[in-house]
Structures are given as C-alpha cells and as structure tokens.
Structure 1
C-alpha cells in the first residue's frame, strides 16, 4: 500500500472536474490554501445500507444549509407511488402489485450543472488552476505517477495525481500502461450506461407538471424515474436498467463509453427510446401522450461490484490516487465527498471507510445492486 499524506506545500493534479474532482479541489484548497492545485446529479438519504444513509444525511444537510450550494437545492416530495397527490397527476401510473406508497419528505432535488459550476468557481477563486483539455495518458515512471499528457501533447505535472475520471477510468489506465495489467481496473469496476429522455415544457404544461415531485416507479416494465422540470422547464425521465459497452483490447475486454465525440450520448437506439416512453406511461399514464420526448441521451458512469466508491491510493503506483465509481448516485454527495478524498490523501480516513473504499476489497453487498448492468449496448 502506498502511504498517503497531504501537505500545504505539495502540488496536486486532479484529473476530471465532475463530482469527485470538483468537490476534491474545493475541499483541498480550503484546507490547504497555499498548496499548488490544478483541476483538469436527486438528493436523498433513504439507502438500505446504513453507511450511505449516514453519508447521504450529511450531504443533505449541506445541500440545505451551505451558503454556496443551497441556492441550487430545491425541496420536493419524492414519491414511489401516490394516486391522490398533486391533483391526481399520478392517478393512472402503473401500480400493478403495489398496495402501499412510500413518501420521502426529507429528500429534494439539486441542480447538478449549476452546483458543480459554483463549486468549481469557488475553488478557482480560492487559487485552484483550471486547465481544459483531454487527457491522453498518465505519465508513469520509476518514481510513480508524475502527471498527465494531454492529446495536444501538453504535459501537466504534479507531486500527486488524483484520478476522478468516472466512466473514463478503465480506458485511461489501460492506455497509460497497456502491458501492465496490475495497474488496470480489471473487475474492480464496470462502466455502465442508462437511457434518459427530456421534454421541454411550455408555459401551459408547466402549470400541470411544474410542481411535480421526483417520482420513482420500479414496478413491472416501467423501471424508471422522473425529475421535476427545474430549472429550465426540462422534465426528465430515466430508465434504471443499465447496459455495458464491452470492447476488446490487447489487455483484454472491458466496458467503456463509445469511442466517439461526447461518448455518442445523443445517439440512443430505438429500443432505448421505446423504453423511455414506457417509463413515461408507467408514471404519467395517459398524460404521457401530451408530453412527447424531445431529446434522448445516454449517460455513463463507473460501477463497482458492491456499489462502493473507490477512494484510495493506487497500491501499485506511487503518487497516484483514485476517486471514482459514482454509480449514477455519487453527485448528491458533492458537498462532502471531497472531504473524504482529502482525508484519504492525509492518511486520516477511518479504518472502516478505508477498507470499504479500498482499491482491493471484498465485493459483497451493495447500495444499488439493481443498477449493475446485465445487457450490452450492441444488443439494443
């Protein structure tokens, strides 16, 4: 195991500016304002796993009360099944086999893009250097990881490199050391995709759907969710039945997003489009006919077998640290997850959490086992 320690005078390179990267940059510069730091989604706490319930409650408190992030958090009422609420908006949803409805009044919705932009902006204002560019490979030498090389051939170096690249992580490690599979992700993580759909509501439709809650319907064929049209009148639907995109390389087979611009995210095949329509009708019944989907999108994230994050030093590469494995639910922890990454860098993460988020650990149990992919994109 590579010893982890943070220092006010150390240099850090954070690869990836999503949830893990943005939150890490913010908390790292807050704790170590003199350090050199370069920085290259429904909020709830109802987990079956008590560990993530505690983490979710901590994040929920920050979403509500943190001066930086609270403007992007909107209290709402997530409901699993409820026929009589909201003027009967969900009266014709698919309730087959369901007798009881679960209403979570402690949850809410946070605007993902705006909140990440805010926390990145705050980190930059505090001294973090923000560099735009596509990372080609990690620079691996005899002393460990020395930084990254961009596809423009520009090199970024630092004493410690923190990989927060989500769905791009398996490919990045393989490309950086094609013949050294001891560095690769292997079966520690799988890249998975889900299909989403968006409806741009007009003013009249906003009068009907504008105050709709988060609605989760995992019954029958629906297997989906909808989110309120906040903030841009965009009513969103997601089907939770995920899929892989397995490809073969010299180092073996692994799943990765399509190797094309923007991961080909706007190219949803007809089968997945039909599944989004099924989600619509399973939630809104006949009302779905009045709100046809305008856009379809494929979203990708990294999933570990037991759905725990990987927040750990890389045990086989000095000065390389991993913070990834978001499982489509990590971004709700944006206000607090960076604190844990900084603690990992300092070597102060408690033993239970360190074991849980280690590079090598048991793969039993899970916070979101239903999200594990069982299908291939090419078959859809």
Structure 2
C-alpha cells in the first residue's frame, strides 16, 4: 500500500540499477530508514547487468514516454558535479543496414522531441559522421547527437556512494533465501546466513535472478532471465585513437550494436536478440525457471557464449568495420537481461501483498535511466505515480504486444555443449578472405 510515511522501514533487495536508484530517490525525498542488501560480496556485483565497461544512452524510442525520460536522464548524466568522468556524449547511430519499423518509429519520436538528429540516407552520409580513416559498409540510418555511453560500473559505484553518504545502509554479501510473510503480507526477508531483516516494505530489485530467487512469486513468465552475447576486441593505442570519435551504433534490423573504444582501448559489441535461456527444473509444480549462468556460478565457463553467436557477431562486425573483422576477440560474456513479454519494466506492488514491491524487468534498456529510474518506484511508494504509469508497469498487467526492439527474435535454450572455446576467439583471416567485398 502506498504511503508517504517517511519513517517507515524500507528494505531493498538488490543494489543494481533499479535498487540503488530507488534507494537514492527515497532518501532524497526524506525517507529515513533505507536498507539495501545484495548477494555479492563485491559491489557492484561483477556478474550483474549493471556492471560493465559501458552502457548505451539513447533517446531513440518508439515510445515517447521512454524518450522523454531518457532526455531527463541525459541532462543528469551531463552534470559533471554529480557524475564525474562517467558519461561520454558520442552520439548514437541508429540503423546503418536499413530501417526496421522500430527504428522508423524512433526517428519520428526523436524529431517530435526536438532531438538533435540527422538523416543519413546513404553510405557517404554515414561515412561523413565517422572519423577519417574509419571505413564502414553501413548504408542507411540516422544519427542522434543526444546520447552516447556511460561507464556502467563506475556509475553504479558513484550512486552507491551517494546512497551511503545520504544515510542509507548498504550490506554486501547478503544472499536472500526467503521472504518473511505473515497473513499474506511481507514483513522482511531471511538471508542464507540466517540473518533476518524486518521492514514495513520490501522492494525486490534482483534483476535476472528475480524469478529463480523467489519461485513462490511465480514470476518466471514475466521476468525471464535471458543471456545476451557480448564480445570485446583489444585495440592498439593507435587503433583506439582512430576509432575513438565513432558514435555508438545500434541496428534493430540485424541486432548488432557496438561502442567506441574506452580508456583501456577495449571495443565492445554484441547482438541484441531474443537471447538464451538456462531453464532449471524446480520441484514445485514441475516448473522450469531460467537461471543466470555467470562467472560467479560457473567460473570462466560462465563467460562463454554460443559459437553461433560468436560467428554472427563477427559477420556483423565485418559489415560495420571491415578492417577489424578478422581480429581476435579478447573476451566474451553472457550478459543476463530480465526480459518482460512486452519489454516494459515492472514497477508495482505484488498483487495481494501491500508489503511487497517488484522493481525490475529492465529488458535490456533500463541502465541509461540510472539517475532517474528510481523516481518511478519512489512515486509508487509515496502514492504519486500517475495512474497510466501504474497500469503500464503493474506486475499483473496484460502484456500486450507492441513494436519491440527484438520482436523478430526468439529465445533459444542455452546448449553448454556448443559454447565457444579460447580457440574460437583467435584472429580469423580466413573469415575475412571468405567475405565478398561490399565496399
């Protein structure tokens, strides 16, 4: 039940994007008893989606709500006093290999919002927004200068420090094993080490671990853990200097996205698609729940991606930056999203339980909103969240299909027998030689 009682004890499970931003915004409003727990002994959690060298910041959405909210987030990211050395406004090139319905709608939304966009109708126009000496095979798209990327791990650390300075309690290494409930209402949580934390309100913000950590809530069809394949290339200092001025690039027709190199000369890329699920059987009701398979649970083996994805990413890199197509990959990672059926977030009270809020379901597009996303949960708790947004993000809403970024894609079951090995990452000149020139 929503309440503006600033003295109520609020317990947040999960110190990632949703959780730590919610803590910040509650403290900012004067709530005086905010405690954040996280399973990881090291914060930010090394295997969380919130922890990475970069995350894209794009205002290009088909849904005006997200576009407007992103512009608010960008204004915050630009404030160096609040986010020192975190945000890089490189611009974002949308499309590149032809438009899809989502990108066309995003372009119209950007124009309506007054974003600094420019149509790139052909290869020459795209080439003109790239640094001299960087060749591309892309041929159609548009660029938005309102956006770029953030150092995700650094930004999460920065916000965690803000929460602690404001009086919030943050406890690492606290793996939650169950909710403490009485009469159908949640009153706290019990940790694996036997510690019990009682609260007036519990907020679950555990990302892709939500459904598997709390199987009694039956969220496996609403919060699906899906692994997305990511790879990196280690550039030389000279190469990094050449590619440094590139915008972020994302194409929803092919699924390929790529960042400019970071300060360590690392070039990160991946394929935004349906992803891979890791179904695990649970005894209750003969159900299966997708559970993240990461370096924390499986060591280096948890970082490997399917060979087929490695090959697809290399082929898409060849179209984007052919000069780099043969290069060895330095690392791989399955980045685990919390996907909802409609790609809208879940921010709402759990049905029938006025002591429990669910705040998750990022669906691969929440991190850019870190400075502002917790405001929505704070509005929900204080009773000021607008009715259309309560409906949009409700736990028990009807998940109505709409134009999604990954609508053509389907999720696949992760087959650990066909994951890539170190030998698959090596330089591949044979691949380059086999590709017909498109330039």
The answer, yes or no, to whether TM exceeds 0.5 is: yes
2:367 matched to 1:335? no
2:55 matched to 1:44? no
The answer to whether the 8 Å contact 1:237/1:279 transfers is no
SS of structure 2 residue aligned to 1:137: strand
2:159 matched to 1:145? no
Instruction: Describe the shift of the 1:52–1:89 C-alpha distance in structure 2 as closer, same or farther (beyond 3 A).
Output: farther
Instruction: Describe the shift of the 1:64–1:365 C-alpha distance in structure 2 as closer, same or farther (beyond 3 A).
Output: farther
Match of 1:129 in 2: 169
Q: Could you say what the CA RMSD is over the residues aligned between the two structures, in angstroms?
A: 2.2
* CA shift digits 1:339-367 (9 cap, x unpaired): 11111111110000000000111212446
The answer to whether the 8 Å contact 2:277/2:413 transfers is yes
2:111 matched to 1:78? no
SS of structure 1 residue aligned to 2:10: strand
Match of 1:120 in 2: 160
Match of 2:387 in 1: 351
SS of structure 2 residue aligned to 1:370: coil
2:312 matched to 1:270? no
What pairs up with 1:230-379 in 2 under 5 angstroms?
A: 230-241=262-273, 242-250=275-283, 251=285, 252-258=287-293, 261-262=296-297, 265-289=302-326, 291-366=327-402, 368-370=404-406, 373-378=410-415
Match of 1:226 in 2: 258
> Quick one: distance in 2 between partners of 1:266 and 1:259?
6
Identify the match of residue 234 of structure 2 among 177, 184, 200: 200
Match of 1:180 in 2: none
Deviation (angstroms), 1:115: 0.8
> Quick one: distance in 2 between partners of 1:297 and 1:259?
8
Instruction: Describe the shift of the 1:156–1:46 C-alpha distance in structure 2 as closer, same or farther (beyond 3 A).
Output: same
Instruction: Describe the shift of the 1:89–1:25 C-alpha distance in structure 2 as closer, same or farther (beyond 3 A).
Output: farther
Deviation (angstroms), 1:266: 1.0
Deviates further, 358-367 or 84-93: 84-93
Match of 1:161 in 2: 202
> Quick one: distance in 1 between partners of 2:309 and 2:332?
9
SS of structure 1 residue aligned to 2:343: coil
Instruction: Describe the shift of the 1:150–1:231 C-alpha distance in structure 2 as closer, same or farther (beyond 3 A).
Output: farther
Instruction: Describe the shift of the 1:288–1:116 C-alpha distance in structure 2 as closer, same or farther (beyond 3 A).
Output: same
Match of 1:105 in 2: 145
Instruction: Describe the shift of the 1:161–1:140 C-alpha distance in structure 2 as closer, same or farther (beyond 3 A).
Output: same
> Quick one: distance in 1 between partners of 2:279 and 2:295?
15
SS of structure 1 residue aligned to 2:197: strand
* CA shift digits 1:295-325 (9 cap, x unpaired): 0000001111111111001113331111000
Deviation (angstroms), 1:161: 0.8
Aligned length: 364
> Quick one: distance in 2 between partners of 1:6 and 1:234?
46
> Quick one: distance in 2 between partners of 1:213 and 1:77?
5
TM-score, normalising length: structure 2: 0.77
> Quick one: distance in 2 between partners of 1:367 and 1:113?
30
Deviation (angstroms), 1:13: 0.9
Provide structure 1 residue ranges, at least 5 long, that are not aligned to the other structure.
178-182
Provide structure 2 residue ranges, at least 5 long, that are not aligned to the other structure.
39-54, 97-125, 419-439
> Quick one: distance in 1 between partners of 2:335 and 2:189?
25
SS of structure 1 residue aligned to 2:92: coil
SS of structure 2 residue aligned to 1:60: helix
Instruction: Describe the shift of the 1:342–1:131 C-alpha distance in structure 2 as closer, same or farther (beyond 3 A).
Output: same
Identify the match of residue 11 of structure 1 among 6, 9, 29: 9
Instruction: Describe the shift of the 1:163–1:231 C-alpha distance in structure 2 as closer, same or farther (beyond 3 A).
Output: farther
Instruction: Describe the shift of the 1:312–1:66 C-alpha distance in structure 2 as closer, same or farther (beyond 3 A).
Output: farther
The answer to whether the 8 Å contact 1:42/1:108 transfers is yes
